[in-house]
Structure 1
Amino acid sequence: MDAFFQSQTVKIITLALVAIVFAIILHANKKVNSQLAGSVKAQHAKLAKDAWVKTILLFGGSAAAALVAFFHGGIDKALSQAFFGLCLFTAIGSLWTIKKTNAAIEEAKQLSLKGKRKGRIEDVQRINKEKAVYNTCLSLAVGLPGFIFVAFFFEKYPFPWLWFAAFLCTGFGILSARWSEFANQAIAKYASDPKHGV
């Protein structure tokens, strides 16, 4: 099994899969945007652009950490640091988004709680707490210890499978980012329009 994890081909295919997924997402966003109309199209384009800027910033931090790790331990250390970095930096970004969402929820409640609006605001609050916070905590709980381990202990304990485990853990980061963004986008209109959702 160690031969599988040490295979350069497997490592290259894994990195290629990450690149392909992001290319598919970019293409899907463009296709969805082309089928929208009016203000919805502009809003979708703005949200998609915001998501991409955040993604590039996350990759920038992870790539920098991976580059440092590569020169101090090779490809396995670099991949492990990059993937754990994605978990860690995504969780940190999601914590900020969750904080913004909580503030927007309070603003929405103060504006109005008439009709069905109250239940819908509470739904967003529940999603923010149960999905966004939960997945962000998971991503942070995996990313931070993994990042520290790779930075300081990888040379002493160079597990050949660690980079692959780190790759699998990026799923927590993806869920963290998506749920926190979803809740933030869902509450935005309620925080600015007291008649929305009544």
Structure 2
Amino acid sequence: MGKSTNIVWHEQSILKEDRRKQNGHNSFVLWFTGLSGSGKSTLANALAARLYHESVRNYVLDGDNIRHGLNKDLGFSDEDRTENIRRIGEVAKLFVDSGQVVLTAFISPFKADRELVRNLLEDKEFIEVYVKCPIETCEERDPKGLYQKARQGVIKEFTGISSPYEEPENPEIIVESHLNSIEESVEKIISYLKEHQLI
């Protein structure tokens, strides 16, 4: 339960539907989840560029970037990971209310946390994109050198090594980043969005 008291929700003068109409497209969250090194941020940013060129207003929320500001007070315990995702969910909801598409690139290892965000939003506003990639491939890539540090015990509570990753059971989209190129993955997501008349 929240700690704020004596507050009242203030209704907006411009509705989400009005902003969507002005923008010429729906607003929703593309929630990229997967192991570190699976390619979430790379794919989200490539898709953002494609959407921009198709005049779809969008913004990328990246896990590392958010931890430099909004969530810099959080660590990587299970509790802090849950709070990290809760905050991102609330921010993502604001973007959806503003009529934009928000692309979130977070490991978000726990099913319950991802479901919590899904439940914050309305039908067809949460699209889970599972960036599936074997841990061996992620570890070979290791763009930030994190797996090596985790194996050495330097990093505690590292997803896939010393902390669990719970795979999505029914994601809207599965992208296998070890099998498909970024371009192919972007096309797959764009096709889904157009097929479901989201853009």
Is the strand fraction higher in 1 or 2? 2
> TM-score of the superposition, structure 2-length normalised?
0.30
Q: Which structure has the larger Rg?
A: 1
